[in-house]
Amino acid sequence: MNSLGLTTLCCVLVVVGTLECFSYAQLDPSFYDSTCSNMHSIVRDVLSNVSQSDPRMLASLIRLHFHDCFVQGCDASILLNDTDTIVSEQSAAPNDNSIRGLDVVNQIKTEVENACPGIVSCADILALAAEISSELANGPVWEVLLGRRDSLTANQTLANQNLPGPNFTLDQLISTFDNQNLNITDLVALSGAHTIGRAQCRFFDNRLYNFSNSGNPDPTLNTTLLESLQAICPNGGPGTNLTNLDLTTPDTFDSNYYSNLQLQNGLLRTDQELFSTTDADTIPIVNSYISNQTLFFENFKASMIKMGNIGVLTGSQGEIRTQCNLVNGNSATLATFTSKESSQDGMVGSI
């Protein structure tokens, strides 16, 4: 069980006579080396195929990992569908009609299950897909820590509470990230994921016509960009049209997201806030990423790894789902559920 990379500490708790065992587990980049050594290439092949016809998918998968991690940790809770016992996070306000890539994750899972049944968690697939997406968009490359397990629950209420909104103030953003033990360097670096992908008008159109009931557009929005956004997002329209988050290089992972902010070309209010909030501590960080893209990439990698460690389930916690949208044991998956458990149980040798 060495490959599980576990540091296990057992202790006896004299609580109504039960023996409880706490496992302090570490994620490990070589977690699947002996059990599913081609996992990395499977994920990469699917994504490199899909991104040829749908380059936006790389962005969508990075976002999916983020929306997973901020809600009860990186445990694939976002993938669980509505059932009798699950209230899906997918219909929480920040996710509803907005998250993409669930079908691609299922495609990856199917191929990984064919190669190594019952081994790889959906939470790890999300983490690895996010990294490979960065790589395929010419962004930073890092070694993904693995060994997460999948949750038995989801929490839609928590998704509404923990995920930031596009109209948040900088103080609200800082506190949302602080709740996850992420600091302002992490906030600025991770916001740089908006160097790729798209957003719907409804997430920023409050800036275009009557911002904060002023009767005028957001004064921190570049007037040239304003005009083109007003054409795409008619006043009072449904807000479903899409536009690029990064005005200059929409599908390339680079530091132009930050240079845009200097020209008031941030798309979401929360993007522009990082640079346009008077005297904010985030301004020098933005400037440093503009002058040094390597620094942005280094910080982005560190922050993605930090985010990927939030609230992970390891050892014998949770499970390895057979189907990413369902908890095992659900009637729909009973047929494939048997015989997977003992090989997955990191605590087997230690109880």
Ligand X SMILES: *[C@@H]1O[C@H](CO)[C@@H](O)[C@H](O)[C@H]1NC(C)=O
Binding site listing for substrate: 164
Site for ligand X, residues 273 to 332, rule: CB under 6 A: 292, 294-295, 298, 306, 323, 325-326, 332
Out of 67, 148, 301, 321, which one is annotated catalytic?
A: 67
**Interface with ligand HEM includes 276 (CB under 6 A)?**
no
Angle of CA points 147, 151, 155, to nearest 5°: 140
**Interface with ligand HEM includes 301 (CB under 6 A)?**
no
Q: Which residues are annotated as a binding site?
A: 68, 71, 73, 75, 77, 89, 164, 194-195, 246, 249, 254
**Interface with ligand X includes 183 (CB under 6 A)?**
yes
Angle of CA points 281, 287, 293, to nearest 5°: 125
> Which of 44, 63, 301, 321 forms a contact with ligand HEM (CB under 6 A)?
63
Q: Which does 59 bind (CB under 5 to 8 A by kind): ligand HEM, ligand X, none?
A: ligand HEM
Residues counted in the chain: 351
How far apart CA 93 and CA 202 sit, in angstroms, is: 12
Contacts made by residues 329-334, CB under 8 angstroms, sequence distance 24+: 330/83
Distance of closest approach, residue 139 Cβ to ligand X, in angstroms: 15
DSSP 232-290: HS-TTS----EEESSSS-TTS-STHHHHHHHTT--SSHHHHHHHHSTT-THHHHHHHHH
**Interface with ligand HEM includes 197 (CB under 6 A)?**
yes
**Interface with ligand X includes 46 (CB under 6 A)?**
yes
Annotated active-site residue 65? The verdict is no
239, 244, 246, 248: CA torsion to nearest 10: -130
Instruction: Say if residues 39 and 29 touch (Cβ distance below 8 Å).
Output: no
Least Cα distance to 270 among 279, 252, 282, 285 occurs for 282
**Interface with ligand HEM includes 39 (CB under 6 A)?**
no
Task: Identify the sign of the CA torsion 248, 252, 256, 261.
Answer: positive
Residues with catalytic annotation?
67
Please report, as ranges, the residues that interact with ligand HEM according to CB under 6 A: 56, 59-60, 62-63, 66, 98, 100, 164-166, 168, 173, 190-191, 193-194, 196-200, 203, 245, 268, 270
Please report, as ranges, the residues that interact with ligand X according to CB under 6 A: 45-46, 49, 81, 153, 155, 157-158, 167, 169, 183-186, 206, 210, 212-213, 215, 222, 224, 231-232, 234, 237-238, 240-241, 263-265, 292, 294-295, 298, 306, 323, 325-326, 332
